Copies of this chain bind each other. A is one copy, B any other.
Amino acid sequence: MAKVVVLRLGHRPGRDKRVTTHVGLVARAFGASGVVIAGVRDESVVRSLLKVRELWGCRDFFVEDGVDPVEYVERWKKGGGVVVHLTMYGVHVDDVIEHLRSLGRDLLVIVGAEKVPRVFYELADFNVAIGHQPHSEVAALAVFLDRLFGGRELRLICPDAKLYIVPQQRGKKVVRVERSDGLSP
């Protein structure tokens, strides 16, 4: 599978802080290579994401903010990548996911907040719906990546993690890794 990057549009500092953080956490946990937050900078979101990365690993996962989204999308396409925009108005995910997988090309996955400017519908190679009901960009991203990676992403444990979980029927078991191999970030 080629590289998958998530582009978050329309973040409003304060108001969207938690939802954008969830978008970034889902990007990392569901196997994307990084998340790019368009427009305004929001230190608190970036800080939360980097803190999770430090503890749970995958230090190659990148977080960028303050990016011009149209420029970013155009550069992505010039570089040979494919652009997918998740929107309830698009074509059903199950009707395109195999095609997307078969392309073997880098994917930029755009998720918006409330109103996404028309230009992104035009720039996207695929406008893809995770169902045609209003719900959540966090949910849409998760289900899209889950479909794309065929569920394998849910077994992710990062080799450089300081913490990992041992699954339990009841209660919590977290193992802290003490490293002397230079792998810790």
Contact = CB atoms under 8 A, between A and B. Distances in A.
Interface in A134-185: 134-136, 138-143, 146, 151, 153-157, 164-165, 167-174
21 contacts: A18-B19, A28-B135, A29-B135, A30-B139, A56-B134, A89-B165, A89-B174, A91-B168, A91-B169, A92-B154, A121-B170, A129-B167, A131-B155, A132-B157, A132-B164, A132-B165, A133-B156, A138-B138, A138-B139, A139-B142, A146-B146
Contacts of A146: 143, 146
Contact of A19 (B19, B93, B173): B19
A155 to B, nearest CB: 7
Interface in A13-66: 15-16, 18-19, 22, 25-26, 28-30, 52, 56
B139 A153 contact: no
A124 B91 CA distance: 38
Contacts of A52: 134
Nearest to A96: B169
B167 A90 contact: yes
Contacts of A29: 131, 133-135, 139
B89 A121 contact: no
Given A89-B173, A154-B94, A25 B142 contact: no
Nearest to A15: B18
Copies held by the complex = 2
A12 B136 CA distance: 19
Contact of A168 (B25, B118, B127, B168): B127
Interface residues of A, number: 55
Contact of A25 (B26, B89, B127, B136): B136
A71 interface: no
A84 B59 CA distance: 32
